[in-house]
Amino acid sequence: DSGVTQTPKHLITATGQRVTLRCSPRSGDLSVYWYQQSLDQGLQFLIQYYNGEERAKGNILERFSAQQFPDLHSELNLSSLELGDSALYFCASSALSGGSYEQYFGPGTRLTVT
């Protein structure tokens, strides 16, 4: 158990819909990362937040957005969903920001768009 929690574990929704994925980082961690894992694209970094502020942005679509709240939990919002958005979405947290800080991954949310 990494100490990172993600809800829900599974989500099935239809094209065009909007969903919110939630992540609670390990106690004391200030940095949160979001990833998308699919067979086509592998593991893709989406976005990072550090203490409430966006720190780095990767291959995140404009239909996707995220935020980190004052209690440090984070939400990833996916809108106008397409079939190709079906994937595993992971959240990870680290104590601070930067390469020397180990990222701890949550168990993931499996999103299926039908």
Partner 1 sequence: GEDVEQSLFLSVREGDSSVINCTYTDSSSTYLYWYKQEPGAGLQLLTYIFSNMDMKQDQRLTVLLNKKDKHLSLRIADTQTGDSAIYFCAEIVNYIPTFGRGTSLIVHP
Residues from 24 through 63 that contact partner 1 (CB under 8 A): 33, 42-45, 48, 55-56, 58
Per residue, the 3-state secondary structure of the chain, as one string, reads CCCCEEECCEEEECCCCCEEEEEECCCCCCEEEEEEEECCCEEEEEEEEECCEEEEECCCCCCEEEEECCCCCEEEEECCCCHHHCEEEEEEEECCCCCCCCCEECCCEEEEEC
What character string, x for contact with partner 1 (CB under 8 A) and - otherwise, covers 88-107? --x-x----xxxx-xxxxxx
Does 3 contact partner 1 by CB under 8 A? no
Binding site for partner 1 (CB under 8 A): 2, 4, 33, 42-45, 48, 55-56, 58, 90, 92, 97-100, 102-108
